[in-house]
Amino acid sequence: MSITIDLNVETDLTESQRAALVWIERCLEAGAEIEQLPPAEVSVTLLDNEAIRRLNREYRDVDRPTDVLSFPLWEPDEEWETTDGEPVPLGDIFISIPRTEEQAAEYGHSFERELGFLAVHGFLHLLGYDHGTEAEEKEMFTRQEEILERVGLKR
């Protein structure tokens, strides 16, 4: 396995939501494989809307909840450095569980699909993908769908 995932749950989860957490690992493992990453590690934290709103306000000056936030430890053009074969620390992903539920219902797909999508979206941001331009968005969203299809989370 080329990716280590430190999963932190800082909100209440239903039994079905807890069962869906395996999709985070499946999606990020597929993403690491497709991106041909060296051994790497990522932190994923699941939050409620208030906690992600505070992060969004503090780091992006946007005072509202969002679905996913990513905080990379590397600049997009920076070379990854590790010592003694240690995994590359990619950064942190924060996902709002209430927003995940809301968006799954809004888009008409499963909680698992939305959770996988948000994990992959955050992961790709850690790798330097962005969606600020139409070309960047096309590249990022094509890669997202490729990863989600690989693990069977199709639309």
pLDDT digits (tens, 9 = 90+) for 60-101: 999 999 999 999 998 777 777 766 778 999 999 999 999 999
Q: Is residue 24 part of a domain?
A: yes
Q: What is the dihedral of CA 124, 125, 127, 133, to 10 degrees?
A: 100
Find out whether 121 is annotated in a ligand binding site: yes
Taking alpha carbons only, the member of 52, 51, 1, 49 closest to residue 25 is: 1
How confident is the model at residue 10, as a pLDDT? Answer: 97
Let me know if residue 45 belongs to a domain: yes
Strand order in the sheet with 3-9: 3-9, 40-47, 88-96, 68-72
Q: Is the pLDDT of residue 121 over 90?
A: yes
Convert the pLDDT of each residue in 2-20 to its tens digit.
899 999 999 999 999 999 9
User: What's the sign of the alpha-carbon dihedral 139, 143, 149, 154?
Assistant: negative
Dihedral sign computed on CA atoms, order 122, 123, 124, 128: positive
pLDDT for 75 equals 77
pLDDT of residue 84: 74
Domain annotation covers residue 57: yes
Domain of residue 42: give its range. 3-77+85-150
Nearest to 59 by CA among 3, 125, 116, 103: 125
Q: What values do phi and psi take at 34, rounded to 5?
A: -60, -40
Name the DSSP class of 15.
H
Q: Where are the beta strands (DSSP E) in 48-87?
A: 68-72
* Number of domains observed in the structure of the chain: 1
- Asked whether residue 155 is assigned to any structural domain, the reply reads no
Task: Specify the pTM.
Answer: 0.94
CATH number at residue 61: 3.40.390.30
Whether residue 39 is contained in a domain is answered as yes
